[in-house]
A and B are shown apart, each in its own frame.
Chain A
């Protein structure tokens, strides 16, 4: 039933490690996104994929690499984690039309120690 799912929900790791977050949507949408929410609740887009093609890549460090094996999945891999990467990461999906809403996953809370 879950429309947009993410795993894991919580991720605690040490500086310098590499980690991945997975996202899947069963809504049949063409476009998927990663957003980062900081401790002040500010949400900023990181990446967007449309039919497995990268279409938005905001000013995100190269340590962050998205991968879309098919249009239902968008994973986020982070190398050499830093303290400042601690945040909640949300995956979202939507149809391409501007009038369509985005549907968000439950979020992954990443804590880097």
Chain B
């Protein structure tokens, strides 16, 4: 089945620092790729997505590019804020076999941003 490997956390940054959270995946077929964010005590919210190779998803200053050749979808932000403190999940949406239609999540990366 599909699988995801995310950068180990927790990640601690100062405000305005540059953020990268690495994500690589294995998937059947041609998946769509998503980043979700979970703020403390809340459910998961869609952060951004990309549906084909070389697509760049972006939202709220976050970006990630669908790299099919390296099966990666790294999340970046140029200047983080305290309000970005949350858990970030990378997830391919399965396109074939028993993975069809389901999101497979990485272990999540906890981000803490200090003032």
Instruction: List residues of chain A with CB under 8 Å of any chain B CB.
Output: 4, 31, 33, 40-45, 48, 50, 55-56, 90, 92, 94, 96, 98-107
Contacts and interface: CB of A to CB of B under 8 A. Distances in A.
B32 A48 contact: no
Interface residues of B, number: 28
Interface stretch (B12-20, B44-52, B77-85): B44-52
Interface of B: 30-32, 34, 36, 38, 42-46, 49, 51, 87, 89, 93-95, 98, 100-105, 107-108, 110
Contact of A41 (B34, B43, B46, B108): B108
Given A96-B101, A101-B34, A41 B95 contact: no
A98 B100 CA distance: 8
Contact of A56 (B42, B102, B107): B102
Given A40-B107, A41-B87, A41-B107, A55 B101 contact: yes
A52 B41 CA distance: 30
Nearest to B87: A41
A99 B101 contact: no
Contacts of A100: 32, 93
